[in-house]
Structure 1
Amino acid sequence: MNSPITFTKDEEQLSLYIMKVYPTDVSVIWENYTKVELLEKWWAPKPWKCETQKMDFREGGSWNYAMVSPENEKHFAGLNYQEINPHRSIAVSDFFTDENGNINTDLPKLNWLIGFTGIEQGTKLTFNIYFNSLDDMKQILEMGFEEGFKMQLNQLEEIVRGN
């Protein structure tokens, strides 16, 4: 049984707040966000998979990847690492790209602050996601972000539980 996920939409603040508790140490969750071989195991909602094109995990670095369908349809995206506080937080800008990593300006760009907090039950993982406009927020949600992201977070839980 997966632990619950808090998913709160705030249209006034143009933001999403997402929180989930994992029954493991912060260092385990941190590694699942910072090592390609672990990130690729859960970042895409099944049956899709994640394929990294390149990852440079450092402030000023980036991660470019594709979400790949079972029919080999690819949707490309990337993010830039803005601030990294080891085992505490990661701030990124997130965007859609073409296959060469060029930003697709027709789709929204988001800013994320991901927090990693050690608690008695394990790790509280929080996401504060900020949008440039209400239209951008609605577009991302209409693309199935809530359902897909919850699937990904539950997949990570299954991995850390050893299922």
Structure 2
Amino acid sequence: MPVTDITKDLDNRMLTITADFAAPVDRVWELYADPRQLEKVWGPPSHPATFDAHELTVGSTTKYYMTGPEGEKYYGTWQLTDVDAPRSFAFEDRFADADYAPAEGMPVSYNTYAFEPTESGTRAVFTTTYDTAEALQQVLDMGVEEGATSAINQIDDFLAA
């Protein structure tokens, strides 16, 4: 399984997931840059993703939704704030409604995805910060740790296919 470490730090309002992939940095970057590939691994297997807009350029807005087992849809957006291809990108991730407007009362996360070469492939460090410890706890209670882990753990198989 690619996920090798998960650190929850409520004092600093941060969730960090580390994963090691058996593919070079350029190939992992390609997965995150291509919405059709990213759809295959963004959500957990029970909640596949669909990207309506996605481009890894500063200032762009990604629009996506995940579809649950009963057909329910969960919408979100990314606002890209930094891109250093193929090493890292940063974005604000928001829950959204079906029109991609920010969902009232839902936490916003600030994310940095960083990729470094290793002898066997790529180490990815996914760092997510929230405005408050309560916001981090809210998404932890919603299952973000389990969902992110199961999504990330699909990546090696996808890249090998």
Alignment TM class, shorter chain as reference: over 0.9
Shift of 1:20: 0.5
The answer to whether the 8 Å contact 1:21/1:124 transfers is yes
Residue 122 of structure 1 is matched in structure 2 by: 121
Cα separation, 2, equivalents of 1:149 and 1:42: 10
TM-score (norm 2): 0.96
- Uncovered stretches (5+) of structure 1, i.e. residues with no partner: none
Identity, in percent, stands at 26
Shift of 1:56: 3.2
Letter in structure 2 aligned against 1:75: Y
Cα separation, 1, equivalents of 2:58 and 2:14: 23
The answer to whether the 8 Å contact 1:7/1:18 transfers is yes
The answer to whether the 8 Å contact 1:49/1:68 transfers is yes
Residue 12 of structure 1 is matched in structure 2 by: 11
Letter in structure 1 aligned against 2:10: E
**CA displacement 1:20-69 (0-9 Å, x = unmatched):** 01011001110111101100011111122111122233100011111101
The answer to whether the 8 Å contact 1:8/1:16 transfers is yes
Residue 52 of structure 2 is matched in structure 1 by: 53
Residue 91 of structure 1 is matched in structure 2 by: 90
The answer to whether the 8 Å contact 1:5/1:150 transfers is no
Letter in structure 1 aligned against 2:34: K
Residue 104 of structure 2 is matched in structure 1 by: 105
* 1:72 paired to 2:35: no
Aligned partner of residue 130 in structure 1, secondary structure: strand
Aligned partner of residue 30 in structure 2, secondary structure: helix
The answer to whether the 8 Å contact 1:95/1:109 transfers is yes
Letter in structure 2 aligned against 1:98: D
**CA displacement 1:60-119 (0-9 Å, x = unmatched):** 001111110132110100111100000111010001000111001311000001101011
Cα separation, 2, equivalents of 1:112 and 1:128: 6
Letter in structure 2 aligned against 1:125: A
TM-score (norm 1): 0.95
**After the TM superposition, which segments of 4 or more aligned residues of structure 1 sit over 3 Å from their partners?**
none
- Alignment root-mean-square deviation, CA: 1.1
Cα separation, 2, equivalents of 1:111 and 1:150: 18
Number of residue pairs matched? 161
